């Protein structure tokens, strides 16, 4: 009796021994799923303790390289099929080579909370203690990470395409140059910002000055040279010479002709000037013109618009595709179409205080190359605008909340009073979106691997049951 039961006892002993009933392939699969579960556990832990190293917002804000120097980031080409010569010139023009994505320059730190800081030359946040992430906090942008956490996957994929325009040519205070002055544009270009929403006012002798009345009045008052308190608001009643004498100098308040020629020269130097005679296809206004002109009050006349067109289209400048004109009313559009020779792009402006959700009729929008709504327009407006097929420039975007809304709406560009810090946030969001996508893919692969291993185990069990002497 004892001898007759020995083979069955041996089989039972082999089945009870750990791993003794598995083939080498099955043991390998079990090891793989264990590794996959380990990766999934590490990913879950990193989600709880904070994001991995990211590019510094302060570093990205100023556009320099990791060593603290500065580079010039080129804007994307403004046409469908860029010329090879322009592409080559743009590559050669950038000091130190092309701007490295997300690794741009270090900027002076502002108001860091206790326990936070920026790492050295690498410009990356380092984890400390139990995974707490260091981060540079910009004044007015302290809650940007909260808004990033709300960013949808679709908005994340769009963040990289959003461009930043400077409202009134504003720059960071630490740059040491006046907003809207000729030097300000050079600074912004070095920081990777090549789009400017500029107001223009008219003098009594027909000159067009690049400034908002409030900015010029502040300069006149500060100069104390006898300019009246309403000289800027009533600039159309004063000749250019009197305004200059009151303290509005040429460098700080250039004429439209001077500014257009200066920007065209910068584009030419960078190899980015779009010229119809050399280009293939029409300009791509998703990349935006460089100068967005808002003619104030008496400045919106046929004579002034024709003068602007004459300068922009001249052979010496040839920058018509880079100069766009805002229109706010049907009467302004009619004036442009019937009384001027304007061939450049037009922008349809939308004011939220008038109607936050106007109907968008494709036929009525045909004359416009772009839409320029306030960021405070209704969600329904942005939803409809996304189907019109035209670039959307949202203004004025100065907070992480507004930037989040712009990204979710899929706008092409944002116009900001804080262009450098906003661009820094966008660069950081882009990098974090890439990291988020990488982690999600890694987790998905781990889950797929685990499912495959479980399926293999079940198949192994089924095969053993079918073998002689297998499981009952």
In tens, the pLDDT along 152-191 reads: 999 999 998 999 999 999 999 999 999 999 999 999 999 9
Contacts of 320 (CB under 8 A, 6+ apart): 309, 312, 313, 343, 344
CA gap 232, 238 in Å, rounded:
9
Kindly tell me if the per-residue pLDDT of 58 is higher than 50.
no
Q: Which range, of 7-16, 28-37, 164-173, 393-402, averages the lowest pLDDT?
A: 7-16
| Percent of the chain scoring above 70 in pLDDT | 67
Q: Residue 322's pLDDT band (boundaries 50, 70, 90)?
A: very high
The number of C-alpha atoms within 13 Å of 408 and in the hemisphere containing its C-beta is: 17
The answer to whether residue 470 sits within a structural domain is: no
Give residue-wise pLDDT tens across range 401-424.
999 999 999 999 999 999 999 999
H or E element in which residue 283 lies: strand 280-283
Q: Is residue 346 part of a domain?
A: yes
> Which residue range forms the structural domain that includes residue 242?
198-274+283-411
Which of 94-108, 216-230, 232-246, 269-283 shows the lowest mean pLDDT across its residues?
A: 94-108
**DSSP secondary structure string, 289-339?**
-SEEEEE-GGG--HHHHHHHHHHHHSTTT--GGGEEEEE-SHHHHHHHHHH
Is the residue at 450 inside a domain? Answer: no
Our count of domains for the chain comes to 1
Q: Could you give the 3-state DSSP secondary structure of residue 181?
A: coil
pLDDT at 333: 97
Q: How far apart are CA 42 and CA 436, in angstroms?
A: 14
pLDDT confidence tier of residue 139, bands split at 50, 70 and 90: low
Q: Percent of the chain, pLDDT > 90?
A: 56
Question: Residue 159 CB: number of other CB atoms within 10 A?
Answer: 22
Confirm whether 29 is domain-assigned.
Answer: no
Cα of first residue to Cα of last residue in the chain, in angstroms, is 23
- Rounded to an integer, what distance in angstroms lies between the CA atom of residue 262 and that of residue 259? 5
As given in the structure block, the two tokens for residue 367 are: 């004359």
Residue with tokens 């929008």: 365
Residue 366's closest CA among 337, 393, 409, 335? Answer: 337
* Inside any domain, residue 50: no
pLDDT of 291 reads 97
Torsion, Cα of 22, 23, 28, 30 (10° steps) = -20
Residue 71 lies in a domain: no
What pLDDT is stored for residue 25 in this prediction? 65
Strands (E), 96-251: 127-128, 132-133, 163-167, 196-202, 208-210
pLDDT of residue 102: 38
Q: Tell me, what CATH number does 318's domain have?
A: 3.20.20.190
- Asked if 332 and 357 count as a contact pair (C-beta separation under 8 A), the reply is no
Dist. CA 38–CA 401, nearest whole Å: 36
Q: Is 228 exposed, middle or buried (0-12, 13-18, 19+ CB in 10 A)?
A: middle
pTM higher than the cut 0.75: no
Q: Which residues contact 383 (CB under 8 A, 6 or more apart)?
A: 409
CA distances from 265 to 73, 279, 316 (A): 16, 18, 10
- On the 0-12 / 13-18 / 19+ scale of CB atoms within 10 A, 432 is buried
pLDDT tens for 325-361 read 999 999 999 999 999 999 999 999 999 887 888 989 9
For 112-129, write each residue's pLDDT tens digit: 333 322 222 233 332 322
Closest CA to 74 of 261, 273, 293: 273
* pLDDT of 99 above 70: no
Is 402 contained in some domain? Answer: yes
Collapsing DSSP states into helix, strand and coil, what is residue 242?
helix
Q: Determine, yes or no, domain membership for 231.
A: yes
Pairwise CA distance, residues 231 & 267, whole Å? 34
């Amino acid at each position: 009796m004892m001898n007759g039961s020995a083979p069955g006892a041996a089989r039972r002993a082999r089945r009870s021994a750990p791993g003794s009933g598995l083939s080498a392939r099955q043991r390998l699969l079990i090891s793989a799923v264990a590794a996959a579960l380990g990766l999934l556990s590490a990913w879950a832990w990193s989600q709880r303790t904070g994001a991995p190293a990211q590019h510094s917002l302060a570093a990205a804000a100023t556009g320099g390289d990791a060593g603290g120097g500065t580079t010039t980031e080129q804007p994307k080409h403004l046409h469908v099929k860029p010329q090879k010569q322009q592409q080559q010139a743009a590559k050669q023009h950038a000091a130190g080579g092309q701007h490295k994505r997300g690794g741009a320059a270090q900027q002076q730190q502002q108001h860091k909370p206790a326990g936070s800081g920026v790492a050295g030359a690498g410009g990356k946040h380092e984890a400390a203690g139990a995974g707490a992430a260091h981060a540079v906090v910009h004044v007015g942008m302290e809650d940007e990470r909260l808004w990033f956490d709300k960013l949808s996957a679709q908005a994340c994929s769009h963040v990289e395409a959003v461009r930043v325009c400077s409202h009134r040519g504003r720059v960071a205070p630490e740059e040491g140059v006046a907003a809207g002055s000729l030097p300000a544009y050079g600074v912004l270009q070095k920081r990777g910002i090549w789009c400017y929403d500029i107001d223009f006012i008219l003098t009594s002798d027909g000159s067009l000055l690049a400034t908002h009345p409030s900015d010029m009045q502040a300069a006149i008052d500060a100069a104390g040279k006898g300019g009246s308190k309403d000289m800027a608001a009533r600039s159309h009643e004063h000749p250019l010479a009197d305004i200059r004498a009151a303290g509005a100098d040429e460098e700080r308040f250039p004429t439209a002709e001077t500014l257009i020629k200066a920007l065209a020269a910068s584009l030419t130097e960078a190899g980015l000037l779009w010229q119809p005679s050399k280009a293939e296809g029409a300009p791509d206004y998703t990349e935006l013109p460089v100068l967005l002109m808002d003619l104030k009050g008496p400045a919106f006349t046929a004579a002034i618009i024709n003068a602007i067109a004459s300068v922009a289209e001249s052979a010496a400048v040839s920058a018509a595709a880079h100069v766009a004109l805002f229109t706010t009313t049907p009467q302004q559009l009619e004036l442009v179409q019937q009384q001027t020779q304007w061939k450049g792009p037009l922008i349809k402006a939308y004011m939220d205080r008038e109607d936050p959700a106007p109907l968008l009729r494709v036929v009525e929008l045909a004359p416009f190359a772009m839409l320029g709504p306030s960021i405070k327009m209704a969600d329904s407006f942005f939803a409809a605008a996304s189907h019109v097929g035209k670039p959307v420039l949202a203004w004025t975007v100065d907070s992480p909340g507004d930037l989040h809304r712009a990204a979710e709406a899929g706008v092409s560009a944002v116009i900001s009073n804080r262009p450098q810090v906003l661009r820094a946030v966008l660069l950081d969001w882009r990098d974090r979106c890439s990291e988020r996508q990488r982690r999600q893919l890694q987790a998905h692969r781990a889950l797929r691997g685990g499912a495959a291993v479980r399926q293999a185990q079940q198949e192994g069990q089924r095969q053993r049951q079918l073998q002689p002497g297998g499981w009952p």
